[in-house]
Amino acid sequence: MLNVEVTDLPYEIDNILVHNKDGFTVMSLASGSVVKSVDVKKISNDTFASKIVVGLFDETNGKLIQVKTCNIDSSNSDWEKDEIRSFDINMNVSIPQGVNPDNCNVRAFVLNGKLRPLSEKAYLGTGIDSATIWLTGDSQTCTYGENLKPETGWGEKLAEQFNNVTVNNEALGGQSSKSFYDQGRLQKILANSKPGDYLFVMFGLNDDKPEEYRRAEANTTYKEYLRKFVNEAREYGMIPVLLTSGERYTAFKDEFTVESTTGDYPEATRAVAKELNVPLVDVHSRVIANMRRLGKTEYQKYYMVFEAGLYPNYPNGSGDRSHYREEGAELIASFVMDGIKEINLPLASLAK
């Protein structure tokens, strides 16, 4: 059965057109079917940008199997009341093995801004063939210019772990959870996201800084800001994922003795993930274990710690013990992928 969901916006869904694999219009679903288009009716004289969201649901458990979106441009000023316009969707239906097609349903929504009719849990279904990840974070995650290479953020290397995944790296050096949020950087991501996108949240290295605009105490303010990231992402239909931070090279006290430099922040991240039932990728635990296994001498190659003459951008060498070389960024990106697989996020199905 194909249901139509209507909102109180100036637009409403009038019809959903589905074809079978032979191109004929049908009223039932099977793998190989195509959701061709959605007809939208203008029901008031108001005009503003909105989204059409089309989802394939398994009605036995409420999980969303697939989703596709289409924008209604606010420039449609010539769209008159009661006029119906068609929007191409072309979503190829793929029903996972073991799911009864008779229990599947296509629903369409018209939404403005925040996605409220669909819950975050619905998006944790199976059957994704592509995805978009938005990264938040600091200088261990962000993108660096060629004039700073070999300094590399792990976010630059994450896309290499996947097939058909777009990674938008919005991390910025020096940021804490507080400064990133207060400066409107999360809102920028939300405004440009689409339902079903992933929001990766990794902070904790700068949250203990003394500056008021950055400081967020681990067990109070930091947790409050993580909750803001999670709850606001969910309001927009995104899938939030919390990540514990990496480490600094200064964590080595001798060749194989490692003491974390990140205080209570990793544990605070774990606590919020548990509290809000958010997927958690525990990077920090993996980093600490790997440091202790390899030792200080071997681990140096991952950080910006090297003698003069190795890299053109650093003729005098570097003693930066906080940031990664390319090899270190690749290592952390691999740890992120390991965590994704461990918690069985749908993204794992797109791993190389």
Q: How far is it, in rounded angstroms, from Cα 13 to Cα 7?
A: 8
- Active-site residues, by number, are 139, 307, 323
- CA 79, 84, 86: angle at the middle one, nearest 5? 100
Q: How far is it, in rounded angstroms, from Cα 152 to Cα 217?
A: 28
Beta bridge partners of 168: 134
Name the strand (E) or helix (H) holding 188.
helix 185-192
Residue type present at position 53: V
CB contact at 8 A, 5 and 108: yes
C-beta neighbour count of 96 within 10 angstroms: 14
- CA 142, 143, 147: angle at the middle one, nearest 5? 130
Q: Which two tokens stand for residue 328?
A: 């270190």
Closest CA to 135 of 83, 188, 95: 188
* Helix orientation angle between 185-192 and 221-235, rounded to the nearest 10 degrees: 20
Q: Which two tokens stand for residue 143?
A: 């993108």
CB contact at 8 A, 239 and 67: no
